[in-house]
C-alpha cells in the first residue's frame, strides 16, 4: 500500500469492523512508521543503473545532465539516488531550488575544468525542461534532460525488497492472528514493528536533509 491507499483503508475501518493491517509498498518511501518501504530499494537500484550509463555520456561529451526521477511531493528517491550516484546537485520538493546557487556550482566546476555533471531532480521540483534551458543560458554549459519515468516502477525486485516483503507479510499475519487491526507494519531501527494506521496517515514522514548536505560535501 502507498500513502493514499492507507488513507482509504482508514476510512474503510471507520465504516466496518474489518481488521485492517497495512503493508507499506511504494517507491516514494513516504509512509510514516517505516524507515523503508517495499519497492524503494528496487527503484533506487533501477535509477542508479540508468544514471551510471548517463554519466558515461556526460563525461565523454562534456555535458550537464538533469535526470528527473519520480517524487511528486517527496524527495526520498531523489536524495538517496543522488547521493548514491555522486550527483553534483540534488533537487527535492522539500527545498525550493535555488537557481543562482545551481548556476554558481556549475560555473565553479567549469572553472576547475569539470565540464560534465549530474543533477538529480525529483519530478515535483517544477519544470525541469525550463530549468535545463535556464542553466544552459546562464552558464553556457551544454545541458540535456533525461526523464527516467515509469521505468523506475518496473523490473525485477531486488533481494532487499523481496526480503522486506516477506518480513512485513509475516508481521501482518501475526497481528491479524492476535486480532489486532488498524495498524501498519514497518521497519524501524532495524526491527520489524507496527504502529497505528491513524497515526501513520496523520503524520508526515520527515526527509533526512543531512543526505543533501553530505552530497554537497562529496561533490566539492
Sign of CA dihedral 213, 217, 218, 220: positive
Euclidean distance between CA atoms 133 and 136, whole angstroms: 5
Which of 28, 35, 170, 208 does the annotation list as catalytic?
A: 28
The answer to whether residues 132 and 79 touch, using CB atoms and an 8 Å cutoff, is: no
| CA 216 vs CA 102, 105, 212: distances in Å | 11, 10, 6
Write down the residue that cell numbers 517495499 correspond to: 38
The answer to whether residues 102 and 135 touch, using CB atoms and an 8 Å cutoff, is: yes
> 74, 32, 71: which is closest to 183 by C-alpha?
32
C-alpha cell at 77: 528517491
* 146: β partners: 67
Neighbours of 178 (CB within 10 A): 9
Catalytic (active site) residue 28: yes
Write down the residue that cell numbers 563525461 correspond to: 59
* DSSP for 184-211, written as a single string: EEEEETTEEEEEEHHHHHHSPPPP-THH
* Residues classed as catalytic: 28
Amino acid at each position: 500500500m502507498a500513502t493514499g491507499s492507507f488513507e482509504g483503508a482508514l476510512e474503510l475501518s471507520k465504516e466496518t469492523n474489518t481488521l485492517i493491517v497495512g503493508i507499506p509498498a511504494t517507491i516514494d518511501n513516504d509512509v510514516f512508521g517505516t524507515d523503508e518501504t517495499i519497492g524503494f530499494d528496487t527503484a533506487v537500484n533501477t535509477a542508479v543503473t540508468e544514471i551510471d550509463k548517463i554519466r558515461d555520456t556526460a563525461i565523454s561529451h562534456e555535458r550537464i545532465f538533469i535526470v528527473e526521477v519520480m517524487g511528486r511531493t517527496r524527495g526520498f528517491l531523489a536524495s538517496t539516488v543522488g547521493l548514491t550516484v555522486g550527483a553534483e546537485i540534488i533537487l527535492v520538493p522539500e527545498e525550493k531550488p535555488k537557481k543562482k546557487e545551481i548556476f554558481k556550482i556549475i560555473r565553479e566546476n567549469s572553472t576547475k575544468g569539470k565540464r560534465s555533471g549530474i543533477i538529480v531532480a525529483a519530478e515535483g521540483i517544477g519544470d525541469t525542461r525550463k530549468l535545463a534551458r535556464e542553466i544552459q543560458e546562464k552558464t553556457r554549459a551544454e545541458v540535456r534532460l533525461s526523464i527516467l519515468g515509469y521505468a523506475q516502477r518496473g523490473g525485477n525486485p531486488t533481494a532487499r525488497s523481496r526480503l522486506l516483503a516477506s518480513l512485513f507479510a509475516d508481521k501482518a499475519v501475526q497481528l491479524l492472528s492476535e486480532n489486532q487491526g488498524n495498524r501498519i507494519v514497518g521497519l524501524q531501527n532495524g526491527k520489524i514493528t507496527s504502529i497505528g494506521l491513524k497515526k501513520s496517515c496523520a503524520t508526515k514522514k520527515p526527509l533526512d536533509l543531512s543526505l543533501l548536505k553530505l552530497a554537497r560535501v562529496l561533490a566539492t
